[in-house]
Chains A and B, each alone.
Chain A
């Protein structure tokens, strides 16, 4: 039981990170109908910006850890959002009305370009961040196994909940959110209602990138080490999460993220760590056989 509780905590932590990245995939898919395969790299860039920000703040004498992390979060979200905007503007918008595969190929190209860019400018070796938040609670001890909940895990889960709440409010109750949902359903009609479709799509990329930056900072602080390649696996996992939850569905992305995190951690905990990715992808395959539009996705309705 203790072992189970510990895996649950670890799985939720990892799942939160996947969920935040998955939102970026699902939002972009919803509004422009493309899979942004460079989104994993946006997450990686977010993590790098956060690393540079944290280290610079420490060097500048901001030694209060909560303040430094908060500032780093704001800086990472802003700058990564700018990256998201630039990627859409340069690589995707010119191809928006092109044939279907063009944005997909561009996205893969963009992904390679961003990886290489970071590998060249930051070096290919992994970058460590000394543990910034230590300690935690010990929930139960006995049977020779201690269940611990670290402050870092609490911080990750709480931050995710807060960010998700703000994000849900944005999508459901502000005019931008309504405009995004309107563009998702019918871009031309949204334009006729006075919605600037291009700007709405740009903002979707910015928001997705900002959420990926939150995930990037948390990943960095949790694992303490990043390199230019972290975006690949995390990106694929988050994409899997988005598909599992039902691509295009925002609650689905969060649910999918949590499930992928839990599956991975439980598999590694009870069976073998080498096959945890296989487990996650197998579950995806099985779910898609029985629910082709994912757990919370709406089936495509075809008009006849």
Chain B
């Protein structure tokens, strides 16, 4: 995986430009520019408080960034050609030629980011609908499709055939994901009753049920034991292979990051300090310095010490 996509076939999915998020005097994300490629697993790493989760919150509409643009292209990166015009006309999203479309995520309300731009995410502290069953959790994620099929509920209430078909298809899809994460036999239990590792997998399955183009995972390996985090790696790679998906990954577990990412971006104090393949990042003295908490002027010394 580590060799990534060669530049000839690179195809940008997400372009973040000049993103700044201030909370009063605190600059959590500082003029961050960042690109993720279609089909890649892009990891975002950095010390605690580097602004990684804030960055995710901006992408998924939890926060409205103070400044900057977050553009997502469906189809191919050719869609970005429509971006300047869309930006100036104040649009939230626009269709480009063919099946392409470009979305300005910082302008869209959260539920439309999920529904139209098809960005899904999971959380560091798991946020399942704990009182609903596993199956219902996966069906809520398919709300957009089901709601339209039920004629905005009226048809569903009357039991129309089209709604029943859509409901059956949704249940099939949920069953498929329950099999993938190995929880079919617990489909009717409340999600809150699952053990921790299974809740993590269910959260990923729920995100997948929204049919995302981009999946943002916030520390999916946190709190997992080595066997579980190994299973997680396999699940993520499989999802990426089988579902034409791109993944953004925040993770502290370097085993996971180095094994499965194609590219890595490193944040520190809200700024991007490095970007590259896992091998490049592993060898970057700035990254090592950031993790060890060394001041800028001593970075060279650290590089020398670790033998670079």
CB nearest neighbor in B for A166: B157
With beta carbons under 8 angstroms apart, the residue of A166, A170, A185 that contacts B131 is A185
With beta carbons under 8 angstroms apart, the residue of A175, A182, A185 that contacts B156 is A175
CA–CA, A207 and B131, complex, Å: 22
Contact A175 B147, beta carbon cutoff 8 Å: yes
- Asked if A127 is at the interface (CB within 8 A of a chain B CB), the reply is no
Within 8 A of B (CB), among A163-184: 166, 169-170, 173-176, 178-179, 181-182
Q: Convert A190-204 into 0s and 1s, putting 1 for each residue whose CB lies closer than 8 angstroms to a CB of B.
A: 111111110000010
Contact B140 A188, beta carbon cutoff 8 Å: no
Contact B129 A197, beta carbon cutoff 8 Å: no
Contact B157 A170, beta carbon cutoff 8 Å: yes
With beta carbons under 8 angstroms apart, the residue of B113, B132, B147 that contacts A181 is B132
- Asked if B36 is at the interface (CB within 8 A of a chain A CB), the reply is no
Within 8 A of B (CB), among A240-273: none
With beta carbons under 8 angstroms apart, the residue of A166, A190, A196, A203 that contacts B140 is A190
Contact B156 A178, beta carbon cutoff 8 Å: no
CB nearest neighbor in A for B170: A175
Give the distance to chain A from B29, nearest Cβ to Cβ, in Å.
19
Chain B hits for A189, CB < 8 A: 123, 127-129
Give the distance to chain B from A176, nearest Cβ to Cβ, in Å.
4
Contact B210 A193, beta carbon cutoff 8 Å: yes
CA–CA, A125 and B136, complex, Å: 50
- Asked if A141 is at the interface (CB within 8 A of a chain B CB), the reply is no
Q: A191-B110, A193-B206, A194-B210 are in contact. Are A179 and B157 (CB under 8 A)?
A: no
- Asked if B114 is at the interface (CB within 8 A of a chain A CB), the reply is yes
- Asked if A302 is at the interface (CB within 8 A of a chain B CB), the reply is no
CA–CA, A186 and B129, complex, Å: 7
Interface residues on A, range: 20 to 34
CB nearest neighbor in B for A298: B131
Give the distance to chain A from B14, nearest Cβ to Cβ, in Å.
17
Within 8 A of B (CB), among A187-242: 188-197, 203
CA–CA, A133 and B210, complex, Å: 52
Contact A182 B129, beta carbon cutoff 8 Å: yes
Among the interface residues A166, A181, A189, which one has the most CB atoms of the partner chain B within 10 A?
A189
Chain A hits for B130, CB < 8 A: 185
Contact B156 A191, beta carbon cutoff 8 Å: no
Contact B144 A192, beta carbon cutoff 8 Å: no
CB nearest neighbor in A for B109: A191
- Asked if B199 is at the interface (CB within 8 A of a chain A CB), the reply is no
Contact A193 B141, beta carbon cutoff 8 Å: yes
Chain A hits for B113, CB < 8 A: 192
- Asked if B60 is at the interface (CB within 8 A of a chain A CB), the reply is yes
CA–CA, A201 and B152, complex, Å: 14
CB nearest neighbor in A for B137: A182
Chain B hits for A186, CB < 8 A: 127, 129
- Asked if B111 is at the interface (CB within 8 A of a chain A CB), the reply is yes
Contact A174 B153, beta carbon cutoff 8 Å: yes
Apart from the given pairs A169-B157, A176-B156, 14 other A-B contacts in the complex at a CB distance below 8 Å:
A174-B157, A175-B146, A175-B150, A176-B150, A179-B147, A185-B130, A189-B127, A192-B120, A193-B140, A193-B141, A193-B143, A194-B143, A195-B111, A298-B131
20 contacts between A and B (CB under 8 A): A166-B157, A170-B153, A174-B153, A175-B139, A175-B142, A175-B156, A176-B150, A181-B129, A181-B131, A182-B143, A190-B140, A191-B111, A192-B111, A192-B114, A192-B121, A193-B140, A193-B141, A195-B140, A196-B111, A203-B153
- A interface, CB within 8 angstroms of B: 166, 169-170, 173-176, 178-179, 181-182, 185-186, 188-197, 203, 298
- B interface, CB within 8 angstroms of A: 60-62, 109-111, 113-115, 120-121, 123, 127-132, 136, 139-144, 146-147, 150, 152-153, 156-157, 206, 210
Closest 3 CB pairs of A and B: A175-B146, A174-B156, A194-B115
